[in-house]
Amino acid sequence: MNPNNSTLHLVSASPFESPALADCLRVLQGKDSLLLIQNGVWAAHREQSWRAQLQFSSEHHRIYVLAEDAALRGIHVLPPFELVDYEGMVALACEHARSASWY
């Protein structure tokens, strides 16, 4: 187990169908990171209202987008979000003390 006290938050629900992302953003703290997966990647789309909120959060937390899920949905991810593949997702899980899933 990683000795740091950080959490990797995984959001899998679209922010337009679930309050999961909003709830997650309220509890991010310290060195926590956010990984958008499945339909959660819609929040990173350049034409969505959630992008501004995520950009603000990225000033304090690292925000990642699962590349495969973004590609499947035709979403082109721009900075400040970082693309990761499945190996990167596993590496992120190892870098954090725990993970939390948001549906």
| pLDDT tens digits along 46-103 | 766 777 778 778 888 999 999 999 999 999 988 889 999 999 999 999 999 999 999 9
Domain region containing 64 = 7-102
Any domain includes 13: yes
Q: What is the CATH number of the domain that holds 50?
A: 3.40.1260.10
More confident position, 43 or 4:
43
> For residue 68, what are the contacts with CB-CB under 8 A and spacing of at least 6?
85, 86
HEC letters along the chain: CCCCCCEEEEECCCCCCCCHHHHHHHHCCCCCEEEECHHHHHHHCCCCCHHHHHHHHCCCCEEEEEHHHHHHCCCCCCCCCEEECHHHHHHHHHHCCEEEEEC
**For the packed helices 50-57 and 20-27, what is the interaxial angle rounded to 10 degrees?**
20
Comparing CA positions, the residue from 63, 70, 59, 89 lying closest to residue 14 is: 70
Any domain includes 2: no
14-33 average pLDDT score:
94
Any domain includes 17: yes
Any domain includes 62: yes
Any domain includes 69: yes
| pLDDT tens digits along 1-16 | 555 899 999 999 999 9
Indicate the number of domains in the chain: 1
pTM of the model: 0.91
End-to-end CA distance of the chain: 25
